[in-house]
Structures are given as structure tokens and as C-alpha cells.
Structure 1
């Protein structure tokens, strides 16, 4: 049962929590652990409840009196309280999880060692300890942990070794400053540890032992980023980091990029880059490091009262993280890489029927709030805050933030509290800005009407707004591209472009859809190869991506541009970057021969790139993933016949195997043998995707068993199998599974929970079946009573299906 806002408001009105004392024993068994929680609190005379989600509940003591454990229902224990001080003790056996939430227990395929970490975000905390699980009932935490004697334990406060007994060791942590329940974590296992210090703050890094050499190699850069970010955040905020140690734990099978737990940030361990990495990869990681550090102030010192202000956490950390790495670290080009990785993620979300305001979503319950944890909260919110900082000026912007931290230190606040501080600092009302940019969803469309000599601004009919756009316009003439400032402050703004190509919002300062007009689009295949401004190239590609998304550009037109100017300058291959978009969206929709043209273009780009450069690596990755030559792919999969400057690391070899699987030029036995020869956390995930990509019924059944829970594997493998299931050109093999997705949707939902449930709904949706039957089945499924996060993911897939059909 998801906590409703009304329930949370009532509980906060009658309770004041003094402290939590949590005792965890992680040595019981491989699947369960013991949890004993003591909560001290004051209450009014009232009836309320405590949240706990155990495997089995053993004891409930309220003020020393035993309560019947059978009162537990749907994760809640009813409490009938008199006015005054109380002590509640809850003893339970809890279950370890492998979906990235609660207390996640992972077995490293490389060496069989077990690792544990806590992810309490949203509603997962009660599966670790009993609590009043809502963001505005903050309290100090003390924790005692019993673990195997050779394990390391870290958490929200420095862990003290309390002594060993036989094969176990006790650790004590805290008390902490007041924390929200969703920040509480413990990281335990035979982790490899690196310690350092900066400006009086103890620093730590940890990883699985199988990644120890990688962490050792990466530690200097990570610690340098941490030091630089601390210095800049202290300078900007004027308030020192208040949570003691600052530990960054790189943990396995983590759902998000990272989680800002005070004192102990958890990050997904693929960010340690076992193989080749590019500056774009490292810029993305630097942004995450600084983003989580910014959260220590915005989110951790001051926490939203309710989940509909979660955007404040993420938008602010997104804005500050990018600002910090740009101004205070070597990643001065962070905004460029951010353009490729984040902008279209946010704008496409803002254009779908499921769009929502950045702020003021009035989420009725905790789980429905999770569905708004998306590109709008991150990318659009960050863009809006950047605009606000320009509008107010840095002194007023940062002055308002500092006041906000001081007024609500270790407490809770709302958006209105923050904007009141900004209005006091800036001396002017922000009501209009808030209404148009934060409370009204949907992105404006800014388009050039060349014949009329104007730029037209329109907002979605369902969400009218009157937004001013301060942007830069780039035009191409005899001397190349030139840029100038331009203001769009009405439905029509004069701009006489003549017959020159134009890119609107050339530096992506505002938030709008600005696809290239027909003349510009026709010229881009000739102009783009000579476009030397990196940001202008990013803007061009983002405008083209959004043009295809809006069906004002055809796949054939994109394919023409790919053939002359393949986007290898985006050197990251994350899910939101250009290469996956080209391979997964554009080429399957483009005319016959487009993949071959793209392959020839990226091969040529790799050949002319500087040996050992990031451009060479990026272009060669694209070469591998678009090849149809089995013999060549086999050599690359073996690490042989690679161009000079290219390292045949594990990631590249598995890219070749994945492509071999897609084109049906390998088999399950060969993929299994490759995994056996190099078993690790990352290769296990690669293997799941490659096997699922084979064009055979058996391979698709392999994936389907993971969707329905028939085979239980960790979250990364579940998603990877879903990604491999739907391959272009395999519709004849996947047709039964496209039908089964809707027929067995209940089984799919029942097999997963929380974050992963939504991921599975998205990953296993039959997106390659662009037909009436899939559209009708999706529409029918959306008529059902579905969990909020599931409905959101399914509705977004429905929108994507219809958009792809529109440009098919």
C-alpha cells in the first residue's frame, strides 16, 4: 500500500520523531537478515501507523507492552497512541532483495563474493527497518550492524569497529544529524577501500574486490573531482558540509546513476570504466559526482515536505552539478556532453501525453510521485533554474539559496519557501515565471516561417503559456556560421533569414522544440561535415532528433545526414546518446540500404580519425554495431585484426558478439563459452543481451523467462534481456512474444516490484511491432487498472509506437 499525501500530513501533524536505533544482523542466511528497530517519538492522542515490510514479524513493543504481531497488514502496524513520549520496538526478519532496492544482496560472478547495500528511496526503507516512512519526519539515526568478520561496513555516519566474536564483527554508526528515512543506508561486504581527506573532511571510495584495480586506477580523478567540488560548493553556498565523512561507494546492480545518502553516496559501479572510456563518459561521471554532492545541501540539509517537490532536489542538483564541473574542474566542456545525454531525454518526455509540470504535481501518493522522476524533473528543471539564475543574477540567486538553507537547516520546506527567499533576494515577484515555466507543462515550438520572415512561437494547445525565450540564432553565409542573440517574446517575432540555413536556439539556452526548416534540413548533409563548432553540431543533432520525434523530418532525411556526417563526435554510447538512437530508432525505420551507408560512413570516420583518439573509438564502436560481415565480427570478438589505436577490451568484444547475435551469425553455445571464459558483473549483462538478440525462438524464450520471473536474475540482467528481445528484422520470431506481452502482463507485473517493475514494462514492450494489433492491444491494456508507474511507462511506449508508425 502506497502512503498517501493525506495520510502523511496527518501523521506529521501528530508525531515528532526523536531518534531511530537500528540493529541489523547480516549473518543469518543468504536470503534474510534480522532487523530490530527502536523508535522514540512524541505524539498527540491519535491513531496512526508505522511502516514495516518483513518476511516475518517477531515482536512489537509499545512503551514496553507487547502488541499482537497479527495487526500487521499491507506493510503497516496500527498504533493507538496517547499524548506524550513513546518508545516503539519492532523485531523482524527481513528479506534481502536483488532488484536494487531495500537491502540489495549481490553475488559477484567474478569470484562468488557477496555484497550488500541499502537503497531506501521512495518506499523501500520499511523493507530494511521499521519507520515512519515519509520525508518530513526526519530524525537522527544510530545503527549497529553484525556482519562477517572480513566485511567492511560504512553508512550515514563513520562506522566504529565494536569488536569481533568468532566469524562475525559488530559495527556501530551514528548518531547522525536528522535524516529522512529515504536517505538511510548501510554498505557492507568485502569491499576494497581507499581513504583520503580534504579540508577536514574524511573521504572514502569503495568497490567490489574484482574492481579493485579499476578503482585504484580511477581514484585520483574521483578524489580530485570530489575535492574541487567541495571547494566550489562551499564557496557558492557559504555553508560547510555537515555530515562528517564523505564516502562514495560504487555498488553492483544499482538502478539509478547514484543516490545522495548523506555521508555515504552509492553509485552504480559501471561508472568505474573497466575498459576504454571517453571524455564524454568521464564528463557524465563527473556530473554525477558533483550532482550528488550538491544534494548534500539541496535535499539532505533541506528536504522536501512531500514528493511533489522532489523536482527541487533533482533540478537543483542537476543545475549545480553541471555548473560546478564546468567552473571548477577540468570538464569545462560539460555542457556539450550534457546536450547529447540529457536535452532530448527531457524535451521528448515533455512532448508526450504523460507530460507534467516541473513543480506542483500534487502527487496523491508516494508511488505515483515516482513516475514523475524523469527527464522533466532533471533536464527541464535544470534548464529553468539556469534561466532563473540569469534573470535574478548570481548574487540574488545564491543569496536566496543560502537563506533557504539557513531558515530550514535539517528540516523540510516547499517550493514556495524557496521562491519566497528568491523574491526577497531579488526584490521582485516571480509568480509569472513560476506559472509559465514550472507549473505549465509542455515545451514551446519555435519555428522559422521563412516565407513570412518571422519566427513563430506556439505552446501546446492543452497547456497555453506566454514564455519569453532568450536564445542565440546561427545562420550560415559565405563566411560560414555566425551567431547572434535573439529574443522571442510573442507569438510572432520578425526574422528575415533570406535563403540562408538557420539553426534556432543554437546554444540551447532555452527550452523549446526547434526543428530545422526544410531549406536548412536539405543543406545540412553538405554543411554538417565542415561544422567545426562542437556545440552547434550538438544543437543540429538534437534539433534533427526532435524533428524526427515530431514527424516533421523523415527517417530517409536523417539517413542522408548520417551518411555524410555520422555523429561520432558524441563519444558516449549511453542509452540516451546518439549512437543508440541511430541504431535503435532511425535505421530500422529508414529505407533499405541505410544501414550499409551508415556503416560505410562510420568506417571511413574511424579510418581518418587520429590513431588512439576518442573519435576513432567512437567511430569504430559504431562500425562494429552496424557491421553485417560475420567473419570480420568474429575477429573483432576475439580481439583480433583491430585497427591500430583500438584496444580490444571486454566491452568492444561483447559489442561484436552482440552484433553477431543480432544478425544470426553466432549461437548460444558460443556466447556461453565466451561468458565462461570471462565471467564478471559486466559480462553477465552483456551475455544476457546477446543471447536474447539471437533470431531464434529459444533465445526469445530465454528473455521471456526473465520477464515473467520464471528465471530470477538481478535487475541489470532482466533489463538487458528485454533490450535484446526486440531486434529489427526479427518480427516473425518475436510475434508470439508481442502477443504474450499483453496476455501475460499480470504475470510480468507480479514478478517484479518497485523501480524494476516499471523498467521491465518498458524494456519488454514490443516496440518493433509497428502494427494495428500492437496499437490496439496497448490501448486496451491502458484501459485496465494499473499501478501508476506502470501506466506511465506503458503510455510512453504507446506514444513512441504511434510516433514511429507515423514516420514508418
Structure 2
């Protein structure tokens, strides 16, 4: 796949600079007709802009162009090439009108249209990030050409339409209706959205701000059940953000739309935030899932200030959006909502995401990555941009204090209100607020890639700090160190680690845990004595943050082949029966049943060990609690006894308090499928009896998990594009295809993956392209020959950037797993 075979050109940074200097966009007026067809929609865009005089281009990704005029003069639609319409404008004001037909999409980008299998109703939502806006309307698609938007939308008569600004249905015909929307505040094109369909709506108001929620009709009762919690979270977060920033939310209505087949967790579109609709809980969920939803709600609300009021000028500063929202979302959730343990959740849910990304060959600085074009920028939209960046901002807040930290943020918002700014602008605001010179901070923490590794050298009686070898940074880590004798409680003491070695004399059997409260961004690694202490103290350690840090340190050790899978399983055997936090189960058990078991000397024995631990917890967990639910989920995923699984499926032999709902039913079916204990006909029947979007995804995962050639071929047809599949179904198929222990039927797909990968960008695009590369990667093929094949494709010329980046990351993960097996004789 060469860059030239891509259907559209990616906007280059140099082009964005030239276009910004040449034009200023005054306003957009967009007329959409969503009622005429279920494959396409008409889009009439009028752009008013001022030019300095010269040549430029408009971004347009249409299925067909009817007519284009510039100041009334016709422009040939044939001039549109690879998503660009070249125009020449004299100095002064101009009006461009583009009348086009756009495609509805099913990849979670552009204007995504889906049909709910539960009732046959169709729904549409817009996702303009990062470069999908031109597939909805013609535009100058770059973040620093902000302008107000006015929308006019024709939709089926029974649909509700929501946009970035308040809207009203103004005309009703026999089968369709016209919706008119107020003009928005100036927006970057990637924030523009609309949500249209026969939604179930809930309305409320808080502090003068109209609030609303929407979801598909088939899950209306579940949105009703969740509405009080969601609206309470929203009110609490608004009050806290108003208190911290002293600037009121400026975008009118605040609508939260839960939409199907959404790629991200959520998108912060001003006035109309979109969320993936599995966040409307249709089955019983763990507290962990509720905290995740709460932090997501708060994260998107933080974006209304950082991101929406002030937007990065170019994609190289996108990390600021995400790091700031990640930090503030977690902080506000912990401070003012019922989920005061949000930081423990962050430890389990986000820490490893960032640390693993920061150890990949593809690691990059938090800031200053250049982002030569939009596609390149998307490659760095990862755990470094979120987890690492937010941790560093938290460190900065701890150093500056709230008074200076928020005074600088407020100065930044006020100076750049409804405009664009850079990292330098923000840090200048902090320096004006009293932070002092932050250049060393930015150089060492934000512009240098890689974490410092922290490891206790007992013989030397010191903590050894190993900086990144390519560009060592001078970082000082002010942290706690927890110590414990093998049978004793943990005690914390403060320490600053700024030199290559920092004295820490401890006893020969004293367990040590570096940075138990995760106050810094670093990679704590376990020494052998401390690892033994983790095994012996986990059963009696009640501090949830300390337990989460033990698990992160253990995971760091396995990732770097410093400890064996057997060691990890020993920690699990000690920890599982005493666990009382379902976050630990929700995030640790998938790591154990997936990665650790696959690397064990005897995977079956390893899996049985985990099953025993989950069953032990089930016996002591209080009936009906979320800890019991998480333990039961783990027991299902680790079960090898098909008779027991079938009994649970039939709702017998269940622990008191466990009820089999749709989520648990499909979880059991997926496990039975991987064990070849359920037939394809049974899976099809289960779906037909209770169709839903969620069930369709679970069905895809179950079918792909069957250890049969026909099932693997069925999954592969979705990868190679022979059969269309939604974004969620693609991920499910990749997950199910590569099951450990099914090497005989998956072996042919190792070569097929690498043979077909260079051309996969012609089949999939955008967010989904990265997903299929990652989820269909042959991670169960723990062979040096697989690494060689991957390396050869990585080095091939003309490989699509998204394909290469994801392949590099997955290959690194496979290489590390092979290293564990080689080190410990599995």
C-alpha cells in the first residue's frame, strides 16, 4: 500500500500554515437532507470567507458533486481530486457554495448510520474528528480556522435532531420535517456534529443550563434507570468546573447523546457530546464500569473549557486537550461525586496503558511531536497523550499549587477565548501566574520520551534510576516508598529520587514498593525479595491504592521479562480470595486469563489456578455485590468445566446472588465456543431470540472463537472486506479468531495476515484501520518466525502510516511475550 493509493490526501502542517495565513472563515451555513435515502444524504454548504488573494483548496469528500460556485461563478466538480477542491480567490470577501451528495458511513466516522437490530429503527450521528468533517460538509478542515456554523436539517418525521447549538423543528410534512438551528459559537470543524434519529429523550436543567440525554428507543428503559446518576454527575461537575475556572459554560444547551458503534469512549463536541452507548448499562455492571463512565462524563465536560473554548492550533498540541481533560476529569470525579475512589480506578484502568505505550519502539514525547500531517498526529493519540500527560500535569499541579495552576489556566482561557493557542501560550500563562521558569520542566518531562525505571539494588542499598538511553532527562521523583516485612503491614515514607542512585537501606527480607500512590511518572520494577513480599502480604493488605500499585509493579516485571508467569500467578493466588475492589478484578483478571496464562509453562494448570481463586472469592463475596459479579465474570473466563458452564447458562448451580442476564449469558456462550462446547446453530438461535446491537457483537466474538476452520474463515472475511461488518464486530472477530490453544486452525492465518496487511488500507480506513491491524494480529503465534515476518512488513516501503504504527506496537508486544517464554522455559 503506497500513500498515493489512499483515496484522500492528508492535510500537511505546512499547508495548514499557508492556508491560515491566506484566509479567514466568516461563517458556515449547512443544509442537510437525511430523509431521502438510506445510503447517502444531500449536503449544501455555503462558506463565507475572506482571502488575502491567491490559490488554496477546500476539503470535500463527497460521493457525488452536483454543483460548485464561487461568488456565483461555476466551478467544475471534476476539479475535486483526492478530497480537495482547488480554488483561486482575489483579495476580499467571498462566498463558496458546494452542492453535493455525501455517503452515510458505518465505521464510526463522518455521518454514521446504523440500524438497531432490536427494532429496525435507523440512527445517525456525526463524528468529525480528526479529518472526517469533509465527508459531511465542504470545509476548510483544520483546527485553527474556526467559524460559527448554522445548520438546517431535513429528517424523517419521527426523528429528533440535536446539534452543537439549540434547534427547533419548524416545518412538518407528510414524511419529513425541517429542523433549524441557532448559530454556534466559533468552532473548529472537528467539533461539528449532529445526532438524528427516533431517540428516547430526557430533559432537565441546572443553573440555567438546559441538560438532556438521548439513547436508542430499544434501550430507553435503561437510560431512564441511569438518568438520575448521569444528570447528578453532570450537575456536580458543572458546579465544580465553574468554581475552579470562574468561567461559565458558554455553549448553550448541554446534550449527552449515547450513540451506537462509536469508536472512542466519547467526543467533546460543544453542546452535543457523543458517547458510545454501551455506557447506558443494559445489564448489571461493576462499580468499576460506573466509575469509568463517571470519569468519562467529567473528562468531556473538562473539554468544554480546554479544547472547546481554547483549541490547539495544530494537532501536535492535541495532547494538551486530552492530558488536561484526563487530569481534571479524574480529579473532579474523585472530589465531588460519589466515586471518591476514582484515582484507584485510574491506577488499574489507565496506568499500564500509558506505561506500556511509553516503552514501545513507537514511544514519543508527550509534547513537541511535530505531527507533519493529520494522519501522523493520529498515531500519537495514545496512552502517552492521556495517562502520561495527565500524570505530569498532576505533578505540575502538586508543585505549583491550585492557586497558581488555576490562575494560569483561567488566564489562558480568557486570552484565547473561542480561539486557538499552543503549548507555549499555556505555559506562558502559568509563568505569568507565578509558576516561574518552566522550561526545565517541559524539557525533562514533556519533551523527552520514555519513563525512568526505578529498581531497588539491595546489595548497594539504593534505588537505581535508569533514564531513557536516547536522551537522558534530569528528572526528580518525589514519591513515597512503602516497606513491609513479609508478614507485616506496609509503612510509607517520603523520598526524592533525583540522582542515578538514591540511598535506601532496607533489611534483607523487607518488601519495597516504590511510588505506591503513583505521584510521579516512572516505571517501578520488582526485585526478588519484594516480589516474595507481595505474595505473602497481599492477603492482608487492605489499602486499595497500595494493592493496585503492587499489581502495576508486577505487570511491569512481566512486561520486561524480569519475573515469571508463575510468580504472577502466585501473587494472584494470594490476592484473589481477599479482593474487595472490583476494579482490581475487572482489569487484572483479563491480564491474567489472557496474557499470563498464555505464557505459563502449563496454560491449563495456570487457568485452573485462576479459576480456583475466583471461586474462592465467590464463596466469600457478599451476595449481589459488584465484587461478586466481577468474581463470577472471572470464574466464567477461567472455567474449563463445560458441564458447569452449561449449568450456569441454564441458571442452575449459581452462587446465591448471581443472576444470568444478557451480558453474562453471552459471556458464558463465548467461553463455551472457545472450548468447542456449543454449536454455530445454537449461537445463531441465541441471537435470533434476542437480537440487539450488543448481542450481535457478542455473537461475532463467539462464532470467531469456535476452533473450526469454517469459523476462522468467517471471521477473516470481515478482515479482508469480503463481508461488511461494523467497527465493534470487527474487533470482536479479531479477538475471537486468535484464541490460545487453537494453533492448528489459526496457523494458516499467520501468513495470510502478513501477506494481506500491506493492502488492508484499501479496505478499511481511519480509526477502524488501526483496530483491524491490532486485533487481527497473530498474538498467539509465539514464534521467532512470526517476529521475522512482522519485521519484514514493517520495513517494507510505502506501508500506510496507521498500519505501520499499529504493527510496530503489536510486534513489540509479541517480542516481549516470546522473551518471557525464552527466559522462563515455557
| TM tier relative to shorter chain | over 0.9
1:597 deviates by 1.1
Partner of 1:789: 802
Alignment partner of 2:777 out of 757, 762, 765: 765
Question: How many Å apart are 1:631 and its aligned residue?
Answer: 1.3
Using the alignment, how far apart are the partners of 2:666 and 2:543 within structure 1? 33
Q: In the alignment, does 2:322 pair up with 1:314?
A: yes
Helix, strand or coil at the partner of 1:587:
helix
Who is 1:803 aligned against?
Answer: 816
TM-aligned CA deviation for residue 275 of structure 1: 0.7
Q: Does 1:237 align with 2:237?
A: no
Aligned to 1:622: 634
Picking from 489, 500, 509, the partner of 2:498 is 489
Contact 1:587 1:594 in 2 (8 A): yes
- The reply to whether residue 722 of structure 1 matches residue 731 of structure 2 is no
The secondary structure found in structure 1 opposite 2:490 is: strand
User: Equivalent of 1:165, from 154, 169, 173?
Assistant: 173
Give 2:343's aligned residue: 335
Is 1:634 aligned to 2:646, yes or no? yes
Pick the aligned partner of 1:780 from 789, 792, 811: 792
CA distance in 1 between counterparts of 2:349 and 2:189 reads 31
- Tell me the distance in 1 between the aligned counterparts of 2:39 and 2:698: 26
CA–CA distance in 1 between the matches of 2:275 and 2:651? 30
Match status 1:584 vs 2:594: yes
2:538 maps to what in 1? 528
Larger CA deviation: 160-169 vs 123-132: 160-169
Question: Which of 401, 409, 423 does residue 409 from structure 2 map onto?
Answer: 401
String of CA shifts for 1:192-246, please: whole Å, max 9, x gaps. Answer: 0000000000000000001100000000000000000000000000000000000
Shift of 1:479: 4.8
Match of 2:767 among 755, 759, 767: 755
The equivalent residue for 1:442 is 450
Deviation at 1:641, TM superposition (A): 2.8
Q: In the aligned structure 1, how far is the partner of 2:83 from the partner of 2:650?
A: 51
Residues 32, 572 of structure 1: alpha-carbon distance in 2 compared, 3 angstrom cutoff: farther
Q: Secondary structure at the match of 1:38?
A: strand
1:457 maps to what in 2?
Answer: 465
| Distance in structure 2 (CA, Å) of the matches to 1:294 and 1:684 | 34
Determine the structure 1 residue equivalent to 2:655: 643
Distance 2:372 2:759 in 1: 26
| CA distance 1:150–1:700, change in 2 (3 Å) | same
Residue 529 of structure 2 is aligned to residue 519 of structure 1: yes
Q: 1:25 aligned to 2:33? A: yes
**TM-score normalised by structure 2 residue count:** 0.97
Aligned pairs (5 A) from 1:705-744: 705-744=717-756
The DSSP-based 3-state class of the residue aligned with 1:529 is coil
Shift of 1:759: 0.5
What secondary structure is seen at the aligned counterpart in 1 of 2:484?
Answer: strand
Q: Deviations over 1:753-789 (max 9, x none)?
A: 1000010000000010011221111001101222222
Match of 1:96 among 104, 112, 130: 104
Give 1:275-354 correspondences, 5 Å limit.
275-354=283-362
CA distance in 1, matches of 2:580, 2:525: 20
Q: How does 1:506-585 map to 2 (within 5 A)?
A: 506-566=516-576, 569=580, 571-572=582-583, 577-585=587-595
Deviates more, 1:75-84 or 1:741-750: 741-750
SS of equivalent to 2:219: helix
CA distance in 1, matches of 2:685, 2:356: 40
Contact kept? 2:573, 2:609, Cα under 8 Å: yes
How many residues were matched structurally?
807
Q: Distance in 1 between matches of 2:580 and 2:717?
A: 38
Aligned residues of 2:611 and 2:639 also touching (Cα < 8 A): yes
Conservation of the 8 A alpha-carbon contact between 1:467 and 1:489: yes
Contact 1:708 1:747 in 2 (8 A): no
Does the 8 Å CA contact 2:611/2:638 hold for their aligned counterparts? yes
Q: Which residue of 2 aligns with 1:187?
A: 195
Per the alignment, residue 204 of structure 2 pairs with 196
Moved more, 509-518 or 343-352: 509-518
Aligned residues of 2:488 and 2:537 also touching (Cα < 8 A): no
CA contact (8 A) 1:639 1:649 kept: no
- Asked whether the equivalents of residues 304 and 310 of structure 1 are also in contact (C-alpha less than 8 Å), the reply is yes
Which residue among 60, 70, 77 is the counterpart of 1:69? 77
| Cα gap change, 1:706 to 1:84, in 2 (>3 Å) | same
Q: Quote how far apart the aligned CAs of 1:563 are.
A: 2.2
Query: Aligned equivalents of 2:650 and 2:315: distance in 1?
Result: 49
State the shift of 1:747 in Å. 4.4
Q: How does 1:632-711 map to 2 (within 5 A)?
A: 632-711=644-723
| 3-state SS of paired residue (1:298) | coil
Question: 1:713 is paired with a residue of what secondary structure?
Answer: coil
Q: State the distance in 1 between where 2:435 and 2:274 align.
A: 39
Task: Return the alpha-carbon distance in structure 2 between the equivalents of residues 67 and 588 of structure 1.
Answer: 60
Deviations 1:37-65 (A, max 9, x none): 00000001110000000000111100011
Rounded Cα–Cα distance in structure 1 between residues aligned with 2:501 and 2:469: 17
Deviations for 1:654-695, whole angstroms, at most 9, x for unmatched residues?
Answer: 111111011111121111111111110111100000110110
What does residue 279 of structure 2 align with? Answer: 271
Q: Does 1:117 align with 2:117?
A: no
Please list the CA deviations of residues 720-744 of structure 1 after superposition, one character each: whole Å capped at 9, or x if unmatched: 1011000000111101011100111
Aligned to 2:78, what secondary structure does the other structure show? helix
The residue aligned with 1:613 is 625
Q: Separation in 2 of the partners of 1:23 and 1:319?
A: 38
Query: Matched residues in 2 for 1:796 and 1:570: separation?
Result: 31
The CA RMSD measured in Å over matched residues stands at 1.2
